Amino acid sequence: MNELRALDHFVIAGQELNKRIDAYRNMGFVVGPVERHIELGSSNCIVYLKNTYLELINFGNADRWLTAPYDAFFESCQEGVPHISLRTMDADAAHQEMTDLGLNPDKIINARRKMSHPDGREDETDSTSFYMWRRDNPYLSIFLSEHRKPENIFVDGYTNHPNSAIDVSRLVYMSRDPAGDIDYFSKLFGKQPDRKDENGFHIVGNRGEVTEVLSPNAAVDRYGKNILRNSPDPLSGFCIAMHYAVESVDQARLVLDGNGVDYSETNGGVIVPASIACGIATVFEARN
């Protein structure tokens, strides 16, 4: 294992892009303009954070090779996070590593897109990605991305969010068989879990953020009615929650109250249920 990786970005998918844009703005995020993937036919809006970003995607005119793997997710969940990316510093080397590990990665694709800076200046990203879809648990699949122009990804003018969000601090999945997910996640992150027990496991990425896989019972015990349902069925698993470190939980409450967004108190923060937050229970908590 040559590279310890961290969370990079999160594909937030659904049928109505404007609905997702409104939901994230109401939760207090700055949502960037719609931009098009030049070579893929899809487009997106980006929520930029310190080290990670949310990709509100519109598949638009994308080819079926790109969209077909998400069909079962849309049928079961309608909206949510069916795919996430870890960052690699060298896509070519990582692709060879994943090949050597027996993960049969797809070819490297060019995910460049137009982007507009807050001052109106236009540019392009220079990013490549490759996928490693799992057949046994497809929506616990991960892809790797390299950003050769990070200054066009993490744009200071877009990161000052009214809810005071800084970054994604924890990503949580529900899985029918967490033990069966450990090998795949360990290969992708470049390390073994930092914790594992009968409830699941978690891995701490190289910036200290946590990615966690929980059993259905453990997921329900923690999040209750804030997640979509008590079981991943008919899927093998899917993403259920994202936690954000914020400068001020009080500021996040103020924005949610002002925009009429329902939430409840949780340990050290507040949580917006998945039914409101585009399929993902969304937690705002004070940064460590």
Confidence of residue 10 (pLDDT cuts 50, 70, 90): very high
**Whether residues 116 and 11 fall in one domain:** yes
Task: List, for residues 230-287, the tens digit of each pLDDT value.
Answer: 999 999 999 999 999 999 999 999 999 999 999 999 988 999 999 999 999 999 999 8
**Which residues span the domain enclosing 239?**
165-286
CATH, residue 238: 3.10.180.10
Q: Which of 111, 134, 158 is the last residue of a domain?
A: 158
Q: Same domain, yes or no, for 128 and 189?
A: no
In the numeric block, the tokens 């807050």 are attached to 118
Domain end point (choices 117, 139, 158): 158
C-alpha distances out from residue 268 to 40, 131, 243, 245, 286, Å = 41, 35, 11, 11, 7
**Same domain assignment for residues 104 and 233:** no
The structure's pTM equals 0.94
The string over 188-215, giving b where at least 16 C-beta atoms fall within 10 Å of a residue's C-beta and e elsewhere, is bbbbebeeeeebbbbbbbebebbbbbbb
Q: Tokens 């050597």 correspond to what residue?
A: 100
Considering only 2-16, 31-45, 206-220, which range has the smallest mean pLDDT?
31-45
Q: Cα 67 to chain center, whole Å?
A: 17
Euclidean distance between CA atoms 90 and 97, whole angstroms: 11
151 plus 31 within the same structural domain: yes
Residue 130 is predicted with a pLDDT of 96
Select from 85, 29, 67, 7 the least CA-distant residue to 259.
29
Backbone angles phi, psi at 227, to 5 degrees: -100, 165
- What count of Cα atoms within 13 Å lies in the side-chain half-sphere of residue 22? 8
pLDDT per position as a tens digit, 88-136: 999 999 999 999 999 999 999 887 788 888 888 888 888 899 999 999 9
Domains contained in the chain, number: 2
H-helix segments, 196-278: 216-223, 249-258
pLDDT of residue 39: 59
What spatial distance separates the first Cα and last Cα of the chain, rounded to whole Å? 29
Do 67 and 136 reside in the same domain of the chain? yes
Within a domain: 92: yes
**Percentage with pLDDT > 90 across the chain:** 75
**Shortest CA distance to 125 belongs to which of 141, 110, 113?**
113
Q: In the chain, which ranges are continuous DSSP H helix?
A: 17-26, 64-67, 71-77, 91-100, 182-189, 216-223, 249-258
Residue 1: inside a domain: no
Last residue of some domain: 110, 135, 158?
158
Domain membership of residue 194 (yes or no) is yes
Residue 255, both tokens: 């924005």
Residues 117 and 189 in one domain: no
Same domain assignment for residues 120 and 263? no
Average pLDDT, the chain: 92
The answer as to whether 198 is a domain residue is yes
